[in-house]
Amino acid sequence: MRQFIDSITTQIIAGVPVQEADARVLADASGNDLFTLFTAASRIKSHFLGSAVHLCSIINAKSGRCPENCAFCAQSAHHATDAPVYPLVDEEKIVANAREAEKNGSHCYGIITSGTSISKGEELERICRAVRRIRQETKIAPSCSLGIIDFPTATALREAGVETYHHNLETARSFFPSICTTHDYEEDMETVRVARRAGLKVCCGGIFGLGESAAQRIEMALTLRELDVDSVPLNFLNPIEGTRLAAADNLTPLECLKTIALYRFILPSKRISVCGGRERNLRDLQSWMFFAGADGTMIGNYLTTIGRPAEQDWQMLNDLGLTVEGCCG
């Protein structure tokens, strides 16, 4: 396995993409071979992206009552959870949180809303006004995650100053019907294409630990490569009481790290951030995410769960001797 990993690493650095069959062999790495895999992923990251890392933060700008039935989501109206429920927050709160994110060292700030899509009219206009102010009053790069959007909405966001549109595929096409049945996978794919056509960068990834196979994790990575997204957020399930996956416990720290490494092999030049669920699933190995090929992480709180204090993440980064720069898009 060591020779195989070294051979594939040399191939990728030379600009030859890894093939699905080879990715499946890499996914079988175990024992000491895992550390070889992590070292190789780190080498690939350094070759294409250098050694610096980037930080991003988000605001849950509209929470709960989502009509989609995603099995993992605390905000779905199909689940009975303790997740907060509130309409779109006011412009001042969005801007104030952007200032706080910038203060914490983030270079990218995501405005996230629950629901299938954002309402045109006042909701969209409020977000655009907030984005214009963020552009004027901070140096942070604004992004948005407003669900499934059309070309006019994407264009309005870009003209307001949005740099990146975030829209996750969540999982592989072959596994998606087991997770969500209220919209089609192709609608998510088309949203990514629409955002790109409108001139936005695209941040698109998914969540692991839903019951998907290793082959399906690879399948999603290959789809992201086909879509040529700009950055890839990797989330790991934090089971929420009241959701369909409340009892799921499918991940170990080393399994998470292997997934990060596989995504680096398949998407060698893309920004890869480890986001939701890292505290629960990586535990004492959180700092290893950078060793395994990630070049960014989310700092601060998530949508409905609490992250660890920014000071702890900065201590981790300082202990690793890492330089922080760039943005998640």
DSSP 52: -
128 is an annotated ligand-binding site residue: no
Q: How would you label 310-325 residue by residue, b for 16+ Cβ within 10 Å and e otherwise?
A: beebeebbeeeeeebe
- Cα distance between residue 130 and residue 128, in whole Å: 5
CB atoms within 10 A of CB 70: 25
204 is an annotated ligand-binding site residue: no
How far, in whole angstroms, is CA 129 from its chain's centroid?
A: 25
How far, in whole angstroms, is CA 71 from its chain's centroid?
A: 18
70 is an annotated ligand-binding site residue: yes
66 is an annotated ligand-binding site residue: yes
- Cα distance between residue 106 and residue 54, in whole Å: 7
CA nearest neighbour of 235 among 58, 6, 3: 58
76 is an annotated ligand-binding site residue: no
Whether 258 and 5 have beta carbons less than 8 Å apart is answered as no
- Cα distance between residue 79 and residue 65, in whole Å: 9
Residues tagged in the binding site annotation for [4Fe-4S] cluster:
66, 70, 73
Annotated binding site for [2Fe-2S] cluster: 143, 203
Instruction: Give the residue numbers of the binding site.
Output: 66, 70, 73, 143, 203
